[in-house]
Structure 1
Amino acid sequence: MLKTLPADSRPREKLLARGAAALSDTELLALLLRTGTRERGVLQMADEVLQRFGGIAGLLHTEPTALKAVSGLGGTAKRAELLAVMELARRAAAQQLKEREVFSSPDAVKRFLQLHLAHKAHEVFCVLFLDAQNRLVEMRELFHGTLTQTSVYPREVVKQALALHAASVVLAHNHPSGTVQPSRADEALTQTLKSALALIDVRVLDHVIVAPGDALSMAEKGLL
């Protein structure tokens, strides 16, 4: 029980006395969970959850249905709170990209895309539509595929770019297999979309490939 711990070892008291940065990932998660189960305390439960999903980053990328299978998270309240925190993280990342030039922080783009795509069990192709100052206007998931293949239609990407008055775009998709290395099909698709969007004077700035815990920028690799 947390009440039996010294005050400096209790997450809530420790946070208020020393600030959130003083807490470990396990302690921060324990604050959200609040209670454990009959078999284990909340700190142990939080530690097991982080180990199961690969830390905080892995937890943020976890499908909601996977949380339901964890002992102690079967109820709706705790899962709802965790899902709310995940969504807040996604919205905070989106706000950052809307308020400043996307490529003032390439890592922020990768984190944003990982939060949205890394946890998905099937391939998703999305586009970040940017304004003339390279700030995010909107991200749209345009195509969904299987674990190995996604059908992407250039005409639809062009249509969305025109509707949003985009000046440039960042392409992105996930690799559920875990590797972020682009395939020849990925490279060919990038060139096809570059050519199609060039006809309406919209630039392709990057194509980012995301997997759990990793992301690759084709622009940084010289593949654009």
Structure 2
Amino acid sequence: MQEKQNSLSIKNWADDDKPREKMLQKGRLALSDAELIAILIGSGSKKESAVELSKRILSSAGNNLNELGRLSIKQLMGFKGIGEAKAITIAAALEFGRRRRGEEVQKVTKITSSKDAFELLQPLMGELPHEEFWILYLNNSNKVLHREQLSKGGMTGTLVDVRLVMKHALEHSAVGLILAHNHPSGTLKPSRSDKEITKKLKTASGALDIKTLDHLIIAQNSYFSFADEGIL
């Protein structure tokens, strides 16, 4: 039994099987997602190596890093061998990656399609466990003047202050708006309230000669565009 436990220690693995050594020798692209997570957590348990534990964690999230990023620290701690420190390390690394992607898409300053808007907003809300409502304020060339989170709600919905949207649109001299909110459930079908708030904002902005160009419902890897579907 002791021999089996010792064999699970990274120190006893062949160099090619050690994630840290593998990264040094072959580069970071040679590592699997599980091996990268194993480096973060450092060790497994007496019955499970760090890589095996990482594979199990990934498997629970469908081997999807975006889905893994939605797990809370408490949920991560539900895996045997993952204490608070390891859970925080995993969550911090995934959040760092999300922010890095967010910085990269900030280079997209001109919106020419619903896909452009999705690429800009997905890192901000695509993986959230709660609903948020965001606004993109555009100039007459469809360049983004400002973006902001208008409201933050629970799993069932969020409140939108129409007057506040118009106030900020005037402050930024915007001539176009793109509305967006996420559905944590993953469904892309617009609800009755989604359609109502779209109509309210379109009517209010139209009275000020500001166009509501689109309303996106954003999920983890996909989106629904009111404009593309012809229901704006």
What is the TM-score when the length of structure 1 is the normalising length? 0.79
1:37–1:107 distance in 2 versus 1, CA, 3 Å: farther
1:44 corresponds to which residue? 52
Please tell me whether residue 209 in structure 1 is matched to residue 217 in structure 2: yes
Task: Say which SS state the counterpart of residue 204 (structure 1) adopts.
Answer: strand
Q: Residue 173 of structure 1: CA displacement?
A: 1.6
Task: Say which SS state the counterpart of residue 62 (structure 1) adopts.
Answer: coil
Q: Residue 102 of structure 1: CA displacement?
A: 4.9
1:62 corresponds to which residue? 71
Unpaired segments ≥5 residues, structure 2: 1-8
Deviates more, 1:118-127 or 1:129-138: 129-138
1:134 corresponds to which residue? 143
Measured in 2, the distance between the counterparts of 1:98 and 1:10 equals 36
What are the equivalent positions in structure 2 for 1:18-167 lying under 5 Å apart?
18-54=26-62, 55-76=64-85, 78-103=86-111, 109-110=117-118, 113-130=121-138, 134-135=143-144, 137-140=146-149, 142-167=150-175
The one-letter amino acid of 1:84's match is A
In our comparison, the structure showing a higher alpha carbon Rg is 2
The one-letter amino acid of 1:58's match is E
1:53–1:164 distance in 2 versus 1, CA, 3 Å: farther
Does the 8 A contact of 1:206 with 1:217 survive in 2? yes
Q: CA RMSD in A?
A: 3.0
Please tell me whether residue 180 in structure 1 is matched to residue 188 in structure 2: yes
Measured in 1, the distance between the counterparts of 2:61 and 2:46 equals 22
1:149–1:39 distance in 2 versus 1, CA, 3 Å: same
1:98–1:114 distance in 2 versus 1, CA, 3 Å: closer
Measured in 1, the distance between the counterparts of 2:116 and 2:80 equals 33
Q: Residue 56 of structure 1: CA displacement?
A: 0.8
What is the TM-score when the length of structure 2 is the normalising length? 0.77
Of all paired residues, the percent bearing the same amino acid is 34
* 1:46-72 superposed Cα distances (whole Å, 9 cap, x missing partner): 111111223211112333443333333
Does the 8 A contact of 2:142 with 2:176 survive in 1? no
Q: Residue 43 of structure 1: CA displacement?
A: 0.4
Task: Say which SS state the counterpart of residue 180 (structure 1) adopts.
Answer: coil
Does the 8 A contact of 1:134 with 1:168 survive in 2? no
The one-letter amino acid of 2:14's match is P
* 1:126-156 superposed Cα distances (whole Å, 9 cap, x missing partner): 223456552473331x223443343322112
Q: Residue 170 of structure 1: CA displacement?
A: 2.9
1:27–1:117 distance in 2 versus 1, CA, 3 Å: same
Paired residues in the alignment total: 222
Unpaired segments ≥5 residues, structure 1: none
Task: Say which SS state the counterpart of residue 99 (structure 1) adopts.
Answer: coil
